[in-house]
Amino acid sequence: MEFSAAQIAHIIGGTVEGNPTATVSSFGKIEEATKGQLAFLANPKYEEYLYSTAADIIIINEAQIVKEQLAATLIKVPDAYSAFALLLSEYQKLKQQQLVGIQEPVYIHASVKKGERIYIGAFAYLGENVIVGNGVKIYPNAYIGNNVTIDDDTTIHPGVKIYHDCSIGKNVVIHAGTVIGGDGFGFAPQADGSFKKVPQTGNVIIEDNVEIGSNSTIDRATIGSTIIRSGAKLDNLLQIAHNVEVGNNSVIAAQSGISGSTKIGNNVMIGGQVGIVGHLSIADGSKINAQSGVSKSMKTPNTAVTGSPAYDYTAALRSQALIRKLPEMEKRLKELEELMKKMEE
């Protein structure tokens, strides 16, 4: 597919400087791009490549000062990185729209309701009473259990497993190998030291515009629903336990684990390898640094914590600064002790 500078500027709301009929058919990093490619410059560290790149079209920030004459056509926008992300997203949508039809072999129960413009890849399984919305893409080897609902324009990548009764919203992306709706980790201790399984009778609800990375697990609720709210972005290799709620537009980085019944607010940022104890509340706008262990609720919005057990981020930095000074402080203390001893003598 080929796009002109004028077409691209229209999509991202930019202003063309140069030849509006210049065309590109692919993308390239600004330091490596060749003719026929589009690049972008957002990080000043790469400014030198603005004058040497072979890219035919470059997206740049409006604030960027161009010091030399360029052969490339420029598209100026308020935020080059966001504009480039939007452009990639629209390009991906165009490519996916071309992917339609049902491959063979597949298993699709007679009761399945299918929307328009859908794609179902080979070896996929769709159980009883599944509802598939318009524009849904289900890639090969996916398993969709009974009574699952998948709303419009959602993409289910290869090998995803969605257990029975779960609900997936619009414009959701679930990457390969993720499991939605497996049993929560519920076992009741018995008098003889054994554990009796507590049946997990709830489901998982994933709202609109959520993205979930590869090989993550989101467990079904014991009773009620595990809920991932609209706009949340979840990385690879996550464990989201039963009855957890993740708020709107919250982000969780890889290898983090959220224990059962914890409620995470809106616009929360959680770094990689974070562990959160069950039955906690994490206030809106909270920030949890990587490898932190959170054992108490964070009740004040827009605060940051770090460490294990996690505590106030600013206080933690002060403590780290003091720890680095301990050898010097020890030396000074010994000198004072020797001075005091001499004065006593």
Q: Which residues are registered as beta bridge partners of 16? A: 75
Please provide the average confidence, as pLDDT, over all residues in the chain: 94
Rg (CA), the chain: 27
Q: CB neighbours (10 Å) of residue 18?
A: 16
Are 174 and 192 in contact, with CB atoms under 8 Å apart?
no
Paired sense of beta strands 167-168 and 26-27, if any: unpaired
**H/E segment holding residue 288:** strand 287-288
Q: State yes or no: pLDDT of 320 exceeds 90.
A: no
User: Where in the sequence of the chain do the CATH 3.40.1390.10 domains occur?
Assistant: 3-97
> Cα(294)–Cα(41) distance, rounded to whole angstroms?
38
Tens of pLDDT, residue by residue over 257-316, are 999 999 999 999 999 999 999 999 999 999 999 999 999 999 999 999 998 887 687 877
In the chain, the amino acid numbered 171 is N
Asked if residue 263 lies in contact with residue 277, where contact means CB atoms within 8 angstroms, the answer is no
What residues have CB less than 8 Å from 238, skipping those under 6 apart? 212, 213, 216, 217, 218, 252, 254, 255, 256, 257, 258
pLDDT of residue 259: 97
pLDDT digits (tens, 9 = 90+) for 29-43: 999 999 999 999 999
3-state secondary structure of 280: coil
Q: At what angle do helices 80-97 and 5-12 cross, to 10 degrees?
A: 110
Sequence-distant (6+) residues with CB within 8 A of 289 are: 271, 274, 304, 305, 306, 307, 310, 313
- C-alpha–C-alpha distance, residues 246 and 235, integer Å: 13
pLDDT band at 343 (very low <50, low <70, confident <90, very high): confident
Domain 3-97: which CATH number of 2.40.33.10, 3.40.50.620, 3.40.1390.10, 3.40.430.10: 3.40.1390.10
Among residues 271, 270, 273, 263, the alpha carbon closest in space to that of 237 is found at 273
Give the pair of three-digit tokens for residue 153. Answer: 């324009």
Percent of the chain with pLDDT over 90: 84
- State yes or no: cis peptide before 309, omega within 30 of 0: yes
As a residue count, the chain comes to 345
Which residues make beta-bridge pairs with 197? 187
What is the second-level CATH architecture of the domain 160-309? 3 Solenoid (2.160)
CATH 2.160.10.10 boundaries in the chain: 160-309
At 220-273, the pLDDT tens digits run 999 999 999 999 999 999 999 999 999 999 999 999 999 999 999 999 999 999
| pLDDT score for 8 | 96
Tell me which residues are annotated as active site: 242
